[in-house]
Amino acid sequence: MRSILTLATVCLLATTSMAQAASANVQVNFIHPEKFRDASLRGDGYQRGADEQVMKQLRVYLETLGSRYLSTGQSLRVDIRDIDLAGHYEPWQSNASSVRFMRDITWPSIDLHYSLLEQGQVVKQADTRVDDKFYLQRAGRLGSSDSLWSEKAMLNDWFRDLMKQ
């Protein structure tokens, strides 16, 4: 019994340290988030800037993608320069001023600069705009309660494609 408990503890510690090491392979910086076009989940009208919660969720998600897609010795630096979340608030809708309306013309986009490193050496870097003009047609969107589902799906596609190149 004692050996099973010891083995379980060792496995748990190994898994935790591997997850921490993987998340350390992705460094996310938000450049002038106060100027972002639309990175707020607050429904208090149209205001520029980013919510701390939005930035935290995107940072954690990119770290999760790093643990999924990056190989040993690889790391990724991402400087996010602008965010425009899916949908828009329509303050003129008096009974729904805090509702984000999803329309064909309000797709999500994130402007960023990335550097992919292998063994500390830059092997790929670029400025890019990650967007998803067909976000409303994605399967699974309607069943999700994640307020950043569209942005996360879009970033997953980008990360996966980046690692295939």
Instruction: Evaluate whether residue 100 is within a structural domain.
Output: yes
Q: What is the span of the domain harbouring residue 159?
A: 26-164
CATH number at residue 76: 3.40.50
| 1 in any annotated domain | no
- List the single range of 56-65, 72-81, 87-96 with lowest mean pLDDT: 87-96
Residue 38: closest CA among 83, 91, 101, 102: 83
Whether 15 is in a domain gets the answer: no
71: in domain = yes
Question: Is 32 domain-assigned?
Answer: yes
Per-residue confidence (pLDDT) for residue 3, from 0 to 100: 56
Determine, yes or no, domain membership for 20.
no
Residue 52: pLDDT band with limits 50, 70, 90: very high
User: What is the number of domains present in the chain?
Assistant: 1
3-class DSSP state of 8 = helix
Over 90: is that where the pLDDT of 155 sits?
yes
Residue 144: CB atoms within 10 Å: 13
In a domain, 144, yes or no: yes
Q: pTM of the predicted model, to two decimals?
A: 0.81
Look at residue 88 and tell me if it is in a domain: yes
CA distances from 96 to 39, 45, 101, 158, 164 (A): 19, 11, 9, 33, 42
CB contact at 8 A, 162 and 116: yes
Average pLDDT over every residue of 61-81? 97
Average pLDDT over residues 91-113: 82
Q: How much is the pLDDT for 15?
A: 47
